Chains A and B, each alone.
Chain A
């Protein structure tokens, strides 16, 4: 597995650029990932999505369904794609440090 260093932090990642361990997440991780996910400037709206994903994951051990993400944050799917161009899975979950989505993707 690859290791990246950024602003003094070390992150273990897989081929898709997902964190190997949720516990390794730190605010620097978001800064490191954002460019490869097509995000120039991180706004409060980005943070709202990331915070919710992390809270939900800590509580439930899984990522929320898209519908729940929209309902709780108040962001329609269109808005989520405006914030995270690769979408809630590849974009937002990766930045939040959640495990890689699986299944028939």
Chain B
């Protein structure tokens, strides 16, 4: 099919084995042109052709062709929609308005085709039909519609599909989680349930920006970090356990005997030789707390730091303990302004029990502090740097533990509270002079 714009550069991206976004966009452009279902399109029929056109122009000039910023939304909410306007609206009228809607995804991103068909019908009708599945924070992304359609889409979603928008702006962004207990034997708590419950609990904070800056929650079921909570969330919730790793010695023998492939067969694409438990598990344990006694695998669990390596290598033989919970780490952020951070350990262990009051208490204490003390556009991680980790501990009512640091400070610039120092800070120089002449 002939399209509105020539796209010689983009056309090259239709070759090669990976699924081509160009071919997909062309297919959607063709679909809108042919309109087999007689949809009464609410935005330009040729908007997808104009996407291809404007992207081709950007490929040619190596510059973006979207204007700065954009403030649109729906009444009642301060976020959820990212406004965008093309800077060549005469040339590409189909994308003169090209707003993005963030739609709160189900946790673990499990869908029925019925649901997906319904959101596709809505989006074909009132938008471009182009999506991201999913945005990196987790939302379903509706890519491209006009301002007049925003309230219409919001009405349809909320009234007919029980579906809400996600977050954007200086607020709680859409929380997300790994798929947890739904199909992983290592999940130490129900990540989907906790993510869902906290998303509901904090709807107000999600829809109406009240914070100094953005704030993200992510929920990992174990330290493997399949949703990367420790790197991409201001508050990272990581599943863990505090009793012993459960060992099935028969299965250990089966691994040693070569009956079970290590790592669930993850390395089967290359010949790494026969499985060597000494080399691949025991010698790789970061705390060196494992050994073989005859054909029995032993673990000194007191020294185990629950890195997951042995469990990852021998999933049929080793399982996380039974006394499960989570760790809370805080402060991760991307580089702007004062450097990238991963989250730092705040709560080493907490049980995960409905109605999650302990977890909510930590969250709300942190918010109270950051909302009061945080500067404009200062992430939690930066406030912790500026005011100190000790201040975070004070504000959350937590005691300092050795687990809070990787190593103690080496510089001696140590602050003391006045009440900790005998005699306090108010001293009289004349008193000092009595004993020390000038």
| Chain A residues near B (Cβ < 8 Å) | 15-16, 18, 38, 62, 65-67, 77-78, 81, 85-90, 94, 100-105
Contact = CB atoms under 8 A, between A and B. Distances in A.
B169 A105 contact: yes
B72 A103 contact: no
A40 to B, nearest CB: 13
Given A77-B210, A89-B169, A105-B71, 6 more contacts: A66-B211, A90-B71, A90-B72, A90-B73, A102-B69, A105-B69
B370 to A, nearest CB: 11
Contacts of A38: 75
Given A66-B210, A77-B208, A105-B168, A87 B72 contact: no
Interface of B: 67-79, 82-83, 85, 97, 168-170, 204, 208-212, 214, 371-372, 376-377
A100 B210 contact: no
Contact of A18 (B71, B75, B77): B71
Among B79, B97, B170, B371: residue with most chain A CB under 10 A: B170
B97 A87 contact: no
Contact of B209 (A16, A87, A94): A87
B contact patch SS: loop
A89 B209 contact: yes
9 contacts: A15-B85, A62-B376, A65-B212, A65-B376, A67-B371, A77-B210, A88-B78, A105-B79, A105-B168
Contacts of B76: 81, 85
A5 to B, nearest CB: 21
Given A15-B97, A16-B83, A87-B208, A102 B78 contact: no
B68 to A, nearest CB: 7
* Residue from B76, B204, B210 whose CB has the most chain A CB atoms within 10 Å: B210
A32 to B, nearest CB: 17
A86 B73 contact: yes
B377 A87 contact: no
B70 A16 contact: yes
A16 B75 contact: no
Nearest to B377: A103
Contacts of A87: 73, 77-78, 208-209
B75 A86 contact: yes
A104 B75 contact: no
Contacts of B204: 78
A72 B67 CA distance: 34
A94 to B, nearest CB: 8
Contacts of A62: 376
B208 A16 contact: no
A54 B388 CA distance: 35
Contacts of A85: 75-76
Contacts of B210: 66-67, 77
A103 B169 CA distance: 8
B141 to A, nearest CB: 15
Contacts of A101: 69, 71
A38 B151 CA distance: 12
A15 B78 contact: no
Contacts of B70: 15-16, 105
Nearest to B372: A67
Contacts of A104: 168-169, 214
Contact of B82 (A67, A89, A105): A105
A104 to B, nearest CB: 7
B208 A81 contact: yes
B16 to A, nearest CB: 33
Contacts of A15: 67, 70, 83, 85, 97
Contact of A89 (B78, B212, B371): B78
A78 B85 CA distance: 30
Contact of B72 (A16, A78, A88): A16
A104 B32 CA distance: 32
Contacts of A86: 73-75, 77-78
B69 A100 contact: yes
A101 B71 CA distance: 7
A66 B97 contact: no
A100 B68 CA distance: 10
Contacts of A103: 377
A38 B82 CA distance: 20
A59 to B, nearest CB: 15
A100 B71 contact: yes
Nearest to B78: A87
A102 B75 contact: no
Nearest to B96: A15
Contacts of A16: 70-72, 83
Contacts of B214: 104
